[in-house]
Structure 1
Amino acid sequence: MLSHRKVYDDDQRMFRQSVRRFVSSEIEPNFERWEAAGIVDRELWRKAGESGILCAQVPEEYGGIGDFRFNAVVIEECSYAGFAGPTGNFTAHSDVSCGYILDYGSENIRKTWLPRMVSGEAVCAIAMSEPAAGSDIRGLRTRAVRDGDDYVISGQKTFISNGQHCDIAVVVAKTDPAAGSRGMSLFLVEADRPGFSRGRNLEKLGHHSADTSEIFFDNVRVPVTNLLGQEGGAMAAMMAELPQERLIIAVASIAAAQKAFDITVDHVRQRRAFGSVIGDMQNTRFKLAELKAELQVGWVFVDQRLAELVQGELTSDRASIAKMWVSEMQGRVVDQCLQFFGGYSFMREYEICRLYADARVQRIYGGSNEVMREIIARTL
């Protein structure tokens, strides 16, 4: 990764060393076991909380640091280490779900749950996607019907990161089906409420150690006080929060792409073919030169957008550009890097194989890249 990046100060640089130690001591020794199991140990969350790497953007009064740049450091280090599963776990909790509670939860909700999320005592998921509603969230069918001082929630969600471990979930449901995009609301739902159930842990192409589940709501009653923001305000809230989610996907993508590039440079310096080191061949050098250029351009662009996010200036279209371009670039980089490994690249035991599989979803979640193109096109 580029050194002396202006978006970070000395506090984040010191924090980066702490995150690297955590990744080395707590994730690396267990990673293959978690990949095989399809889920991390719950203990990882407590240890991550103790190390201060969860929900760092939360203000100090709730136990955090108060600066999203620390979140970005966590994702960069986990992604560069090649651990996409735990990266996805942490992202769903810290970078996606947390913002809805921090920005739209009542003071009582914030005081109750944010310190627990920071400490790792409570794991949070965000329940938006449904079998018939992915990038087009307006097609969701989950309903929340007001009944006195409660809402009664019924429906099904799928592809939910942290679905097996979550203690709470930020849930999107329709409160007024006739109102279109203004008829959706956000709720905080505790996983121990009657009617809340988890489906199977889904098997995926990549990100194997990130538990991803179906979640079911069978007349789950939550108090009106669990409403996040205003009734009917879900779409506005999501439009405000999604740029951050899309930027962090770009952060994860470029760090993982950099890792693929770095291990490939090391590989071609050692591998021989036709009597020569393949790293000395012009085709190899030119291909890697192109990838290096793309990576350096990408890092600068991502850092610019991260600075805008911290300053409250990140727009939806610029976040969409970052998510679209960097995730597409990651695909190009990892595909070309895999080619240099030859037949070994197709073996799961080789890291480049896992990096290739893990990269594919980056172009899908957080809003597919086709949706990103539509958002960008609206600004033309």
Structure 2
Amino acid sequence: LIYTRDHFALQESLRKIVDQEINPHVDQWEAEGTFPAHKVFKILGNAGFLGVNKPVEYGGLGLDFSYSIAVSEELGNIRCGGVPMAIGVQTDMATPALARFGSAELKEEFLLPSIAGDKVACLGVSEVGAGSDVSSILTKAVKKGDEYVINGGKMWTTNGTQADWICLLANTSDGPPHRNKSLICLPMNLPGVHIARKIEKLGMWSSDTAEVFFDDVRVPCKNIVGQEGMGFTYQMLQFQEERLWAVGNIVTMMDNIIQETIQYTRQRKIFKLPVLYHQSVNFRLAELQTEVELLRSLLHRATALYIKGNDVTKLASMAKLKAGRLAREVGDSCLQYWGGMGFTSDVLVSRFYRDSRLLSIGGGADEVMLAIICKYMDTLPKK
């Protein structure tokens, strides 16, 4: 995958928004534990960045998925993990299935305003007892007439306290666990939707994370995305874009952390020599930068194959696994070279150290990525 002038132009115009409208406020949003999603999304929506690969008839730019990856890489220049993650939920986690399989009426009601930045979306998959094991969710949607009555709860819901609607995965029948689920577009202002709490987290402070309960929530049957019972399959497809998007985002962040560490260690002296000029430091930074470049190549290869219609589940899982592990290495190694400063909240490296830890857990834990890779390698024990 080689970016064209169009990709770079898109990144350049996004960089202006990041520099002018987002980065000046990041420290404040981190301190407040939330960011103004409607305001920020409206700015991005007006500029076309919330629907880069979405259909033109619903306000998208109609470009291929490589442009979404270019955007995710550029959003890595935001000086925290929480805000880009929240944007990624809107663009590449809560809306791909709707854009691909939803009815025209559903797209009009939920996709169009999400692309415009008028509505904030969230994704309801994880539960208290079911995270990476998606097939074990318990939230139920029971058909009564032309409505579903929904009961259950969702955990770790990014954008949950601010969202206007949720792309909800629920059990719509008692069939086999991979064929009894459906994705439902559900307005968050319906009676019976309760935001139980905003969850305090180790990192990603500027992104609000909610626990949500559904108590006899009634939603029209027409709010189902695509076919009933296909929700698990749609969600697995949606996960591929989410995972590639997350990798693109973290690659840029790692580049920035390494660069800022080079600048700091060049100025900071120990035993009359800049920290950078100690071979143990400059060799380690060279190793880390090499790993980042290899990860970028894997990401671009997977994206190129995905655009051509290939199944990239194995490569996307490999990239996500490597990204989570490498981010931990980059954060830990670079923080070490900042010495005492690295242990303060004043520097980007400590924020990255906290924020990036999520990547090995969210969107499918490392262990789930390994299991998927093993499945494609045919190395799992036979049942």
TM over 0.5: yes
Question: Do structure 1's residue 52 and structure 2's residue 40 form an aligned pair?
Answer: no
Summarize deviations over 1:341-379 as a string: whole Å, max 9, x none.
011101011111001101100001110010000000012
Q: Which amino acid aligns with 2:117?
A: G
Is the partner of 1:192 in helix, strand or coil? coil
Q: Which amino acid aligns with 1:130?
A: E
Structure 2: unaligned runs, 5 residues or longer = 378-383
**Cα distance in structure 1, aligned partners of 2:189 and 2:283:** 56
Contact 1:183 1:232 in 2 (8 A): yes
**Cα distance in structure 2, aligned partners of 1:115 and 1:7:** 30
**Cα distance in structure 1, aligned partners of 2:2 and 2:215:** 46
Q: Which amino acid aligns with 1:235?
A: F
Choose from 21, 25, 32 the match for 2:27.
32
Contact 2:257 2:334 in 1 (8 A): yes
- TM-score normalised over the length of structure 1: 0.96
Choose from 301, 305, 317 the match for 1:320.
317
Q: Which amino acid aligns with 2:320?
A: K
Partner of 2:264: 267
Partner of 2:62: 66
Summarize deviations over 1:54-88 as a string: whole Å, max 9, x none.
12111111111122233223321222333311101
**Cα distance in structure 1, aligned partners of 2:261 and 2:329:** 14
Contact 1:250 1:322 in 2 (8 A): yes
213-222 or 309-318, larger mean C-alpha shift: 309-318
Partner of 1:171: 168
Partner of 1:7: 2
Is the partner of 1:182 in helix, strand or coil? coil
**Cα distance in structure 2, aligned partners of 1:272 and 1:314:** 50
Q: Which amino acid aligns with 2:49?
A: I
Contact 2:160 2:211 in 1 (8 A): yes
Residue 289 of structure 1 and its aligned partner are, at CA, apart by 1.4
Partner of 1:307: 304
Partner of 1:132: 129
Contact 1:298 1:326 in 2 (8 A): yes
Residue 181 of structure 1 and its aligned partner are, at CA, apart by 2.0
**Cα distance in structure 2, aligned partners of 1:297 and 1:178:** 43
Structure 1: unaligned runs, 5 residues or longer = 1-5
Q: Which amino acid aligns with 2:244?
A: L
Is the partner of 2:22 in helix, strand or coil? helix
Question: Do structure 1's residue 224 and structure 2's residue 190 form an aligned pair?
Answer: no
Partner of 1:116: 113
- TM-score normalised over the length of structure 2: 0.95
Is the partner of 2:178 in helix, strand or coil? helix
Choose from 102, 105, 125 the match for 2:102.
105
Choose from 181, 189, 192 the match for 2:189.
192
Contact 2:80 2:355 in 1 (8 A): no
**Cα distance in structure 2, aligned partners of 1:149 and 1:93:** 28
CA RMSD of aligned residues (A): 1.3
Question: Do structure 1's residue 254 and structure 2's residue 251 form an aligned pair?
Answer: yes
